[in-house]
Amino acid sequence: MIELKNITFERDGKKILDDVSLKIDEDKFIVITGPNGSGKSTLTKIIMGIEKQDSGEIYFNGKEITNLPIDERAKLGIAYAFQQPVKFKGLTVYELIKLSAGKEIKKAEACNILSKVGLCAKEYVDREINASLSGGELKRIEIAMVAARKAALTIFDEPEAGIDLWSFNHLINVFEDMIKETKGITMIISHQERILDIADKIVLVDSGKIKKVGTKEEVMPLVLGNKICCKLGGSIDG
Amino acid sequence: MDSLDTNLLKEIADMNLAEIEGAYNIRKNGKGIERKITENINIVNKEDKDGIDIFVKENTKFDVVHIPVIITESGLSDVVYNDFYIGKNAEVVIIAGCGIHNDHHEDSQHNGIHRFFLEEGAKVKYIEKHYGEGDGNGKRILNPVTEVYLKDGSTLEMESIQIKGVDSTDRLTKGTLEANTNFVVSEKIMTHGSQYAKTSFEVELNGENASTHVTSRSVATENSIQEFISKVSGNNKCFGHVECDAIVKDNAKVIAIPEIIANHVEANLIHEAAIGKIAGEQLIKLMTLGLSAKEAEDEIINGFLK
């Protein structure tokens, strides 16, 4: 269970999040959507502790985590996949998957995780996570790392950003498998209709506020029927 | 040899005499103390100055030579000249290194001047590790010089590591390359306290299709200073790539001075240098995996210097 109470976040005189409250209390596949600049990424970064809210409280599985640092939230079971995966000179895919898993795991196990995100494991497991990998490859490795954590709350910030259509189709399968296999809450920031299609619940964010939380049938008319549609532009029909 | 010597040998050469295969020569406090030669590798003392000549027979395959130096006497200044003559098509691994243990207030210094003469088609992997320890305020100083002469079709791959305890180092590595040769250098340095490390590379690409790759990865912490100087001259159709990557922390300072000189229209030379602190996003990423800020930093540095 994750609960945000009255979260406010303001920078340069602009309210990025304006008194946001949200409670997700079931193991569900949640998609957060809304126009660019609406506050979606900030919202998830505040849950992970990467950004610090100006006011408000956060509870995770009954425990207040409002002032906990990133690593302590991670240890409680929150995982985060970045929109722009971070590169590391010298650290290999295997080493990072081991760090993600938080324990010694065999190479074969790491290879299984990589295969699930569509990477030929043998080719990648010993590679450094550096600029020699393409955007799509880095993205899949990022997803593999998060999958290795088996966290109670897993957040993905726009997993589809920067990858080609072929990779995207595969990504949908990865998420579908993840929903089947993992217990806990999966929270994805996305504009993609095919990801919205598989959501249990959609959270619609606009101008720093949560406009609606509901099923696709409940939320989509709002997206398509008013000015939010114009702001989303072509990105929703992906 | 006592346990101090054994520890130093373990640090610099991962060397356990009982298990060692191949030839070796161990030098302690300015004198050779143990030596073993093999059918293919001969080691003899120099007659005109302090040092040894190492001869590897042509067509030798998969042999190993260890030539570690240990210094446990405070105030000793040791200079040694070692020359390696590698026969045609021989393939050999050479493991050198210097460990200084200084518990006293006088400076201890070792300058190893190593020259490598590779005949046609020879292949050498040369590993050199520098290490200092001890509680005294006497400095531990290492100033190695490495000169490499490569004949047609030969290659030398050099790994140089200085991670701990050396107060001052001024290293010079020179390469003179004939046709179809390859000289690869990988250097890793970490400095702390008020240590100083300077490394200079001078490579002359004289023959057609000669190539060199120099990679330096370093971490400078606290008040330490590092200088990286490289000069690659392309005098024929050749390829040269120099890459210097440094992480700087605290009040440390890193200076990188590249010089690439094309004296031939088909010389292809590249120099890349990047110096900066650990990226904040790297720390955040590892913290999202449950590592503390300190653990994340250690992980990043260890990976970088691996």
pLDDT in tens, A142-193: 988 998 888 999 999 998 887 777 777 777 887 787 777 778 899 999 988 8
Copy the structure tokens of residue B274. 């990047």
pLDDT in tens, A59-102: 999 999 999 999 999 999 999 999 999 999 889 999 999 999 88
From the CA of A25, how many Å to the nearest CA of chain B? 22
What is the arithmetic mean of pLDDT over B2-17? 72
Cα-flanking dihedrals φ and ψ of residue B140, to 5°? -110, 110
Q: How many CA atoms lie within 13 A of B124 on its CB side?
A: 34
* A85-184 placed in CATH 3.40.50.300: yes
Task: Answer yes or no: do A99 and B287 touch at CB < 8 A.
Answer: no
Nearest CA in chain B to A47: B288
Task: Answer yes or no: do A90 and B279 touch at CB < 8 A.
Answer: no
The proportion of chain A whose per-residue pLDDT surpasses 90, expressed as a percent, equals 50
Residue holding tokens 């970064």? A45
What is the arithmetic mean of pLDDT over A199-219? 92
Strand-pair partners of A98? none
pLDDT in tens, B169-187: 999 999 999 999 999 999 9
Q: Is residue B180 part of a domain?
A: yes
Confidence of residue A228 (pLDDT cuts 50, 70, 90): low
Q: Is residue B300 part of a domain?
A: no
The proportion of chain A whose per-residue pLDDT surpasses 70, expressed as a percent, equals 94
Check whether B253 has a pLDDT greater than 60.
Answer: yes
Check whether B17 has a pLDDT greater than 70.
Answer: no
pLDDT of residue B163: 78
pLDDT of residue A225: 65
Measured between beta carbons, which residues in chain B are less than 8 angstroms from residue A90? 217, 300, 302-306
Task: Answer yes or no: do B289 and A82 touch at CB < 8 A.
Answer: no
Confidence of residue B16 (pLDDT cuts 50, 70, 90): low
Task: Answer yes or no: do B303 and A89 touch at CB < 8 A.
Answer: yes
Q: How many CB atoms lie within 10 A of CB A236?
A: 18
pLDDT of residue A125: 87
pLDDT of residue B129: 85
* A1-31+39-71+202-213 placed in CATH 3.40.50.1370: no
pLDDT of residue A233: 40
Cα-flanking dihedrals φ and ψ of residue A43, to 5°? -60, -45
A120 interfacial to chain B (CB closer than 8 Å): no
Measured between beta carbons, which residues in chain A are less than 8 angstroms from residue B292? 71
Specify the 3-state DSSP secondary structure of B254: strand
Check whether A36 has a pLDDT greater than 80.
Answer: yes
| From B285, B287, B296, residue closest to A82, measured CB to CB | B285
Check whether A237 has a pLDDT greater than 70.
Answer: no
Strand-pair partners of B43? B54
Measured between beta carbons, which residues in chain A are less than 8 angstroms from residue B285? 82, 86
Q: Is residue B296 part of a domain?
A: no
Measured between beta carbons, which residues in chain A are less than 8 angstroms from residue B303? 88-91, 95
pLDDT in tens, B186-196: 999 999 899 99
A52 interfacial to chain B (CB closer than 8 Å): no
Q: Is residue B293 part of a domain?
A: no
Distance between CA atoms of residues B109 and B76, nearest Å: 6
What is the arithmetic mean of pLDDT over B27-52? 91
| From B245, B292, B305, residue closest to A71, measured CB to CB | B292
Domain boundaries, chain A: 1-31+39-71+202-213, 85-184
Boundaries of domain holding B40: 3-279
> Is residue B223 a contact partner of residue B194, using CB atoms and an 8 Å limit?
yes
A152 interfacial to chain B (CB closer than 8 Å): no
Q: Is residue B238 part of a domain?
A: yes
A58 interfacial to chain B (CB closer than 8 Å): no
A86 interfacial to chain B (CB closer than 8 Å): yes
| From A86, A102, A149, residue closest to B285, measured CB to CB | A86
Q: Is residue B66 part of a domain?
A: yes
Measured between beta carbons, which residues in chain B are less than 8 angstroms from residue A91? 299-300, 303
Stated as kind and residue range, the H or E segment containing A78 is: strand A78-81
A70 interfacial to chain B (CB closer than 8 Å): yes
* ipTM score of complex: 0.91
Task: Answer yes or no: do B288 and A89 touch at CB < 8 A.
Answer: no
Task: Answer yes or no: do B286 and A102 touch at CB < 8 A.
Answer: no
Radius of gyration of chain B (CA): 20
pLDDT of residue A184: 87
A156 interfacial to chain B (CB closer than 8 Å): no
Confidence of residue B162 (pLDDT cuts 50, 70, 90): confident
Question: In Å, what is the CA distance from B199 to each residue of A86, B159, B170?
Answer: 30, 13, 6
pLDDT in tens, B81-106: 999 999 999 999 999 888 888 777 77
pLDDT in tens, B193-249: 999 999 999 999 999 999 999 999 999 999 999 999 999 999 999 999 999 999 999
Task: Answer yes or no: do A90 and B303 touch at CB < 8 A.
Answer: yes
The string of DSSP codes covering B140-195 is EEE--EEEEEE-TT-EEEEEEEEEES-SEEEEEEEEEE-TT-EEEEEEEEEE-TT-
A74 interfacial to chain B (CB closer than 8 Å): yes
pLDDT of residue A3: 96
Work out the mean pLDDT of chain B and round it to a whole number. Answer: 91
Distance between CA atoms of residues A46 and A53, nearest Å: 6
Question: In Å, what is the CA distance from B65 to each residue of A169, B16, B39, B150, B299?
Answer: 55, 13, 12, 19, 33
- Contacts by A105-110, CB closer than 8 A, 24 or more apart: A105/A148, A110/A148
Strand-pair partners of B183? B156, B212
pTM: 0.82
Nearest CA in chain A to B295: A71
Domain count, chain B: 1
Residue holding tokens 């067509």? B59
Q: Which of A138-152, B115-129, B244-258 has the lowest mean pLDDT?
A: A138-152
First to last CA, chain B: 30
Task: Answer yes or no: do B287 and A149 touch at CB < 8 A.
Answer: no
| From A78, A80, A99, residue closest to B299, measured CB to CB | A99
pLDDT of residue B68: 87
Check whether B2 has a pLDDT greater than 80.
Answer: no
Check whether B256 has a pLDDT greater than 90.
Answer: yes
CB pairs under 8 A between A and B: 57
Measured between beta carbons, which residues in chain A are less than 8 angstroms from residue B291? 71, 99
User: Minimal CA–CA distance to B299: which of B230, B247, B251, B237?
Assistant: B247
Mutate to test the interface with B, among A41, A91, A156 (most CBs of B within 10 A): A91
Copy the structure tokens of residue B167. 């107060």
The proportion of chain B whose per-residue pLDDT surpasses 70, expressed as a percent, equals 97
Nearest CA in chain A to B303: A90
pLDDT of residue A154: 93
The more confident residue out of B10 and B191 is B191
